[in-house]
Every structure is written in C-alpha cells, then in structure tokens.
Amino acid sequence: MKQGILFLICVAALSGRVFCETPAPISQVTNDKMGKAVTVAGEVVSFQESRKETAPYSFRLQDASGQVRVAIWPDVFNQIADKDKIKHGAKVTIHGEGALFHNAVEIHVTNAADVIVNDGKAEAPSAASAAPATAIAPAAKQTSATSTLAKGDVTGIGSITPVMVKQTVTISGKVTSARAPKTERAPYILKITDDTGSIDVVFWTDTAQKLTDAQKVNEGDKARITGQVNEFNKNLQIRVDDPAGIKTPKSHPDLFPSDKSTSASAQNMGKTSRLAILPIAEVAGVAIKDRVAISGRVETVEPLRAGKRLTVKDPTGMATVLLWDTATGLTTAADTLRPNDVITLAGSVEEALSTRVITVIRPGDVYSVVR
C-alpha cells in the first residue's frame, strides 16, 4: 500500500547500516526524547567549529516548527563524507540521540553515516501536518513571550536557556567584572549577576563610542541590559548592538529603586550565593527547573560526550547527576571524579525518562570535591 502521506528518508550507509525514518518536526524533540533515537531534517541556520578535541562541532537545525542544537564530536564529524557542505543554509537530515544540555534537549550524533546533506529541500513535515492543531500552541506562546520580553520585562538570568537564542531579553543586576577589548575586533565584556545567576554581556567599539557618560559602568555598578541572546563557545551571552540597551542608575534613575532593602540586596548580588544543602530524599518534592544543592558520596561515574553522569548517595537516598564540562572549570578535582569522592554541588532539577536528575552546568556549581 502506498504511504503517500509520509515523507520517508531511507539512507543506506557505506558500512551497510540502514535507517529508514520519518523525520519528526523539530518542535517534537522534547525532554521525553532524551536517550532515544530521533530523526529530523531542516536547514542549518548557524554553525560553530570545534575548538578542541573534546568540544563538538555544533549547529542549529531549523524546520517549519522550530530549532534544535545538533552536536557532533570531531572523531565522528571528520568521517562525514559531505562535512564541508555543512554550513549556513545547508539542507541536512540528522539521525541521533536526544540529550540534555544547558537545560535544553539537543541531538548528539555518533555515526557519520547518520548525517545526510540533501541537494534539495529537506523533506521534513511541518508541525502542523504531523500533529493536531493544538500541537502548534506552544509556538504561539513563544512568539508572545518574545514580544513581551522585547518590551522590557526583566528576565532572571538563571532562566535564560539555549531555546531563547536570537530572542531579545532584558536583565537587571550588578556588574561583577568589566573587560575592555584587547584588539580592535574584540568586544567589551560585562559580567552581569543577579540572584539567579550570571551572564556575559558583549558589545563592540561602535556601540561603546555612542554611550553617554551616564551609561558607562564599572565593576560594582548596577545596570539594566536589553539585547539578543547568543551562544558562543557553548556559553550563552547577551549581545547589545543598540546603545539604548544599556541603562544605569545615572541614566535612568526611575529603573533603580533606592530603598535600603533593594540597595542591600544589590550589594550582595555579586557575591557567590550558595544554596543550603538538601537531603537527597527531598529532591523528589522539588519542582522541575528549581535549583537545589546536595552533598554525598560518588557511587558511579559514567563518561558522556560533554561531561559525566554520576550517581551520588547520602544517608537519605541516591541521586542521578548530569555534570557537564561547563561546570567543572573552577573545581579542578571535578575533572577526575572517581567513586568514593565526596562531592557538594548545585544544579537544576530536570526530568528525563520519568526520572529526576540534577543538571549541573554553571561554572562554580561544583562547590567542593573531597578525596
């Protein structure tokens, strides 16, 4: 019987391996796909080269329903026959496995034969054709959210995730570091910290030259920033191209209340704020996306492409922890974790395959490792 309503991509690899899948709308690549095989097709809208052997090549793939980040490590990428064609605008079909990174699901590819560069348009069904009409409601909500953010509503830094790349957001916090460019092509970099996290804000000389004296900030100053969420070297940042996106108490005093409670809060904003340690048994009662801190003995360590999967045990229970490489930079011992080490860490509570996991992604979220 003809299956005229389905677009099937059937690929026979040189190795003899064959997969025949219906590309799923990218909007359907959600948390329930973590650890599962998924096939998607779309257009490459950004591409990031690998900068070291342990870092992946990555790109964002877009179809009519949304975008997803695809990560391919060098040992696999270099075997792709058409790797040189994978660039902005390329039509690509991907078969890989869902994985969680930066609190968002992405696709990891572990076989070079699972990357197909299409000469024509990628035949991926749209979300509307592959799902009931109600399935497109989230996209409508996202558009609404983007519009609201663009009007200046303040977003907590800790709630900024990769799915917000290219969206305009406004943050407010304390400048905990300020760096001038060392070359003409480099940007100014401000690290802005609020009580939910920190993020780099970047802008270039042409924007800096348009700032008034009242808009210029130094370490310790408060600032309100509006700009576009970008991803650079696997880290999120906010890019400011319009000088009006930088506001300070001097330029806009009405945006910075001067009451004592607000002032005291601002003074503590730049300091490292550690969460109270929670017994592991109580993690089950914590809301998804909330942050917790736990401390316990490492039972198992399983290497992942961009980090480690741990099981951590305390007297009350056992927790699964996804410890990404982005979180280990300030605690060297975390790079060589082994069973029986005692680790104290903080992270976001996520759910994968009906199991609670603690995802650790921020530099400094590994409080300590004791051997």
What pLDDT digit, counting tens, does each position of 198-230 carry?
899 999 988 998 999 899 988 889 999 999 998
Contacts of residues 206-209 at CB distance under 8 Å and 24 or more positions apart, as own/partner, are 207/240, 207/241, 207/242, 207/243
Give pLDDT, residue 246.
95
Structure tokens at 299: 């039972």
Does the pLDDT value for residue 25 go beyond 50?
Answer: yes
Partners of residue 189 on adjacent β-strands: 179, 202
From CA 355, how far away is CA 66, in angstroms rounded? Answer: 26
More confident residue, 282 or 333: 282
Does the pLDDT value for residue 58 go beyond 70?
Answer: yes
Q: Do domains 11-131 and 280-370 have the same CATH topology?
A: yes
Asked if 69 and 104 touch (Cβ cutoff 8 Å), the reply is yes
Asked if 67 and 104 touch (Cβ cutoff 8 Å), the reply is no
Q: Which of 96-110, 168-182, 196-210 has the lowest mean pLDDT?
A: 96-110
More confident residue, 56 or 354: 56
At 190-205, the pLDDT tens digits run 999 888 778 999 999 8
What fold does the segment set 280-370 form as a domain?
OB fold (Dihydrolipoamide Acetyltransferase, E2P) (2.40.50)
Structure tokens at 43: 């257009």
Enter the pTM of the model: 0.38
Asked if 340 and 326 touch (Cβ cutoff 8 Å), the reply is no
Q: Report whether CATH 2.40.50.140 matches the domain 11-131.
A: yes
The mean pLDDT value for 100-106 works out to: 74
In this structure, the chain runs to a length of 371
Q: What share of the chain is helix, strand, coil (3-state, %, to 5)?
A: 20, 40, 35
Backbone dihedral angles phi then psi of residue 297, each to the nearest 5 degrees? -90, 135
Asked if 200 and 191 touch (Cβ cutoff 8 Å), the reply is yes
Concatenating the DSSP letter of every residue in 55-84 gives: S-EEEEEEETTEEEEEEE-HHHHTT-TTGG
Q: Which of 38-42, 94-98, 99-103, 280-284 has the lowest mean pLDDT?
A: 99-103
Q: Which of 62-71, 91-100, 179-188, 327-336 has the lowest mean pLDDT?
A: 327-336
> 3-class DSSP state for residue 124?
coil
Q: Which residue has the tokens 């409670």?
A: 261
Helix (H) or strand (E) holding 198, with range, is strand 197-203
The mean pLDDT value for 263-292 works out to: 72
Residue 4 banded pLDDT, cuts 50, 70, 90: very low
Q: Which of 111-120, 124-133, 270-279, 314-323 has the lowest mean pLDDT?
A: 124-133
Structure tokens at 366: 């590994």
The mean pLDDT value for 97-111 works out to: 82
Asked if 345 and 360 touch (Cβ cutoff 8 Å), the reply is yes
Domain ranges of the chain: 11-131, 138-269, 280-370
Structure tokens at 331: 């605690």
Does the pLDDT value for residue 292 go beyond 80?
Answer: yes
Does the pLDDT value for residue 76 go beyond 60?
Answer: yes
Does the pLDDT value for residue 237 go beyond 80?
Answer: yes
Tell which residue, 189, 161, 192, 160, has the closest CA to residue 175.
192
Mean pLDDT across the chain, nearest whole number?
Answer: 78
Backbone dihedral angles phi then psi of residue 138, each to the nearest 5 degrees? -55, -35
Tell which residue, 353, 289, 247, 345, has the closest CA to residue 35.
353
Q: Give CA 36 to chain center in angstroms.
A: 19
Give pLDDT, residue 331.
63
Residue 343 banded pLDDT, cuts 50, 70, 90: very high
CATH number of 138-269: 2.40.50.140
Does the pLDDT value for residue 355 go beyond 70?
Answer: yes
> 3-class DSSP state for residue 115?
strand
Give pLDDT, residue 298.
95
Q: How far is CA 249 from CA 213, 246, 284, in A?
A: 12, 11, 42
The mean pLDDT value for 144-158 works out to: 55
Residue 262 banded pLDDT, cuts 50, 70, 90: very low
Residue 144 banded pLDDT, cuts 50, 70, 90: very low
Give pLDDT, residue 32.
75
Give pLDDT, residue 128.
41
